[in-house]
Structure 1
Amino acid sequence: MDVYQAPAQRNEPDPNSLRELVHGWERMRLRFNLILLPLGLIDLLLWSYQDWTQLVFLLPGALLFGIGANCCYFLGPLAELYTRALLPEVTPRQLFYWAGVVFSLLIILLSGAFGFVFNELVL
């Protein structure tokens, strides 16, 4: 091994690097938000379809939900980081991503169903 030889350049990032992990998850964040946004808007409509003045009071909660969903999104890269440390041969990124998307969608759908029932029974 020649210690004076320049290291070979690599075009693609090391798949095990922390930088690749962060970049990979950040590339998927926009898709995550675009998947949740339409159902979140439908959820707002289900909560306020009989009394549109409620929409003003629901918007801050919707904004907080979006911020919370993106904070919980961080659990995906964190879980992948731990999985890489414990099981280096496993690449669970897509599994963790889609599990998080499905979980988030279930929360939105349950909230919308609750809002619809609430509007039908109470208002």
Structure 2
Amino acid sequence: MKHENLTDTALSSGGSTRGIVPGGTALGDFLYPAPAERRVWAIIGWWEKRRLPCNLIVAATGIVTISVGSLIMGLNGEFLPFIWLRAALVWAIMANVCYTLGPIAEIALQKLFVRRLLPAGAPCSSGPA
């Protein structure tokens, strides 16, 4: 199957979207979803469908990080919850800013390289890490 045909709708079976992993499982379909069609709004839609799972992953890792950091700081007697909350808010905003740059970069590269570029995208950008 050519990469032009690898779209969310092209690989649907029984009304459910399937990823690009042959004989895919739900986890495989989530981690390796089918690329978006090569239209601007399709690319944006592809990324936006995955924003909530990305935010949940960022939030879960942030909770673990804050918990471990608070525990370590508490052992040293320097527990400052407001610093951690402010850092978490900045982290969440920056993660979404970086995620928003994903479709912008993909659209720009698509326009620049037209046919030479394979469909790109990930369920979650690397964020401010």
TM-score bracket, normalised by the shorter chain, equals: 0.5 to 0.7
Q: What TM-score, normalized to structure 1?
A: 0.61
RMSD of aligned C-alpha atoms?
Answer: 2.4
Out of 68, 74, 77, the residue aligned to residue 46 of structure 1 is 68
Structure 1 unpaired stretches of 5+: 1-11, 108-123
Is the counterpart of residue 34 in structure 1 residue 45 in structure 2? Answer: no
Counterpart amino acid of residue 114 in structure 2 = P
Matched-pair contact (CA < 8 Å) for 1:69–1:104: yes
Using a 3 Å threshold, how does the CA distance of structure 1 residues 62 and 79 change in structure 2: closer, same or farther?
same
* Larger Rg belongs to: 1
Query: Residue 41 of structure 2 corresponds to which residue in structure 1?
Result: 19
Give the Cα–Cα distance (whole angstroms) in 2 for the partners of residues 85 and 92 of structure 1: 13
Give the Cα–Cα distance (whole angstroms) in 2 for the partners of residues 40 and 104 of structure 1: 12
Count of aligned positions? 89
Q: What TM-score, normalized to structure 2?
A: 0.58
Matched-pair contact (CA < 8 Å) for 2:99–2:127: no
Q: Which has the higher contact order (CA 8 A, sep 6+)?
A: 1
Out of 68, 76, 87, the residue aligned to residue 61 of structure 1 is 87
1:74-115: CA deviation from partner (whole Å, max 9, x where unpaired): 221111011211222321123xx55x2xx348x3xxxxxxxx
Matched-pair contact (CA < 8 Å) for 1:25–1:77: yes
Is the counterpart of residue 91 in structure 1 residue 113 in structure 2? Answer: no
Give the Cα–Cα distance (whole angstroms) in 1 for the partners of residues 105 and 99 of structure 2: 10
Deviation at 1:28, TM superposition (A): 0.9
1:32-77: CA deviation from partner (whole Å, max 9, x where unpaired): 1111111111111122114284223210210111011101112211
Higher helix proportion: 1
Query: Residue 101 of structure 2 corresponds to which residue in structure 1?
Result: 75
